[in-house]
Amino acid sequence: MLIYILIFSLISILAISDRQKLYLIDILFLSLILVIFIGFRYEMGTDWIIYLSRMLSMEDRSFSEIFSISFELSYQVLEFIANRLGENFILLNSVSAILFVVGLLHYCRRQAYPWLSLLIAYPTLILICSFTNTRQSISLGFELLALSNLKYFYRSIFYFIFGATFHQSMLFIVPIPILARMKDLTKIKNLLKIILITLPIIYIVSQFYGVFISDLLNAYILSGTYSSRGAIMRVGYVFIAAVIFQLNKDKFYSNNKFYEFSLYNIFSLLVILCFLLTALFPNQSTAIDRMSFYLYPLSIFVYIRCVQYRIFNLSRNVWKLIIISMTCVFTFYWLTNSDYAQEFWLPYKNYLFM
């Protein structure tokens, strides 16, 4: 538990201080710490054995066989390389951590309060997603790069699509930045643009991912056997941000580019839907929980602007204390009360300290 407390405390102190920029030395230091923390972890996270088995199974495959598989090609290439380099699981996890951390720090650095942004990302994106859902954490890294480059439309779309080559679920997010660009959906030309863009995506998904998606639906939704007891808390943390966004839409609209406001507006509506679905269908909460990781950047975007815009006429220091307190309760309540946290996160284990 000590390592989790130390990292949280360090980021909290920097978040509440006047040092509100990420300098090059900060980025290098954070990158090193986070890559070691995530990439060198040992037997941490619920899917550790699954990912290790996947990498070891590459022993019986040739490089050409990888390209015959139609999904998550980029991650399988990483697995193949790690396998051929002495079944090096540390290498695979470290490269995965680097790809995630680059996107995370790039996004946090572009916020008005980067240290506070990093603190908001700490419980769900760093502790849970990067420890358990390695492929999805890489996709999230590319999503965060895409969100940092929304003004460069084609570049952001490239990041979204390339991220899907690590985890196919990212494909469901791709239409959102396209929709966010449409100012008036009642215009025929805008509707035609949406149709021309989405139809190829639907075709590609149905042709290459149809069977896989069908299996996921059967396993995660129809069977009712996959539930995440912590999902309501994780989605709830972002749900609060979504409600704040909806209650202060005029302020968010006037202080951000239209495409940025529109994208996060869609995110907020999806978060509210996810929260309601999680509450109504707890036995199918794992699928909702996994998809809500892609919506988690909304919490960073909104909470940072609560401080920046002084939402509800609260001072910036009060907002910082609220966010730090809320994140602290969320992080350590989960670590001390979750059965999964007790089994797969405590104590923290790292290859460097064995």
Q: Does a cis peptide bond (omega within 30 degrees of 0) precede residue 347? A: yes
Pick the closest to residue 337 from 227, 224, 233 (CA basis).
233
Q: How far is CA 344 from CA 62, 130, 219, in A?
A: 33, 13, 23
End-to-end CA separation in angstroms for the chain: 17
Dist CA 301 CA 150 (whole Å): 13
> What pTM did the predictor assign?
0.91
Chain-wide mean pLDDT for the chain?
Answer: 88
Q: In the chain, what percentage of residues exceed pLDDT 90?
A: 64
Residue 84 confidence class, pLDDT cut points 50, 70, 90: very high
The two structure tokens encoding residue 291: 């998809």
Mean pLDDT, residues 178-184: 76
Residue 255: per-residue pLDDT: 92
Residue 241: per-residue pLDDT: 97
* pLDDT of 207 over the 70 cut: no
Residue 171: per-residue pLDDT: 83
Which tens digits make up the pLDDT trace of 114-154? 999 999 999 999 999 999 999 999 999 999 999 999 999 88
Mean pLDDT, residues 313-332: 96
Dist CA 246 CA 253 (whole Å): 11
* Domain range summary for the chain, segments of one domain joined by +: 2-353
Q: Are 150 and 107 in contact (CB under 8 A)?
A: no
Dist CA 55 CA 98 (whole Å): 18
Dist CA 163 CA 161 (whole Å): 5
Residue 129: per-residue pLDDT: 94
Pick the closest to residue 127 from 156, 95, 100, 99 (CA basis).
100
Give 184 or 55, the one with higher predicted confidence.
55
Q: Is 78 exposed, middle or buried (0-12, 13-18, 19+ CB in 10 A)?
A: buried
Q: In the chain, what percentage of residues exceed pLDDT 70?
A: 87
Which tens digits make up the pLDDT trace of 28-52? 999 999 999 999 999 999 899 999 9
**Can you tell me whether residue 345 is helix, strand or coil?**
coil
Residue 79: per-residue pLDDT: 93
Mean pLDDT, residues 152-180: 89
Residue 181: per-residue pLDDT: 80
Any idea what the Cα angle at residue 298 is, between residues 283 and 150, rounded to 5°?
125
Pick the closest to residue 120 from 338, 306, 250 (CA basis).
306
Q: Are 297 and 107 in contact (CB under 8 A)?
A: yes
* pLDDT of 278 over the 70 cut: yes
Residue 335 confidence class, pLDDT cut points 50, 70, 90: very high
Which tens digits make up the pLDDT trace of 88-100? 999 999 999 999 9
Buried-exposed string 190-199: b where 16+ CB fall within 10 A, e elsewhere: eeeeeeeeee
- For the ranges 5-14, 56-65, 267-276, 331-340, which has the lowest average pLDDT? 56-65
Residue 162: per-residue pLDDT: 93
Residue 172: per-residue pLDDT: 83
Residue 309: per-residue pLDDT: 95
**Can you tell me whether residue 172 is helix, strand or coil?**
helix
Range from 167-176, 225-234, 245-254 that averages highest in pLDDT: 245-254
Residue 321 confidence class, pLDDT cut points 50, 70, 90: very high
* pLDDT of 226 over the 80 cut: no
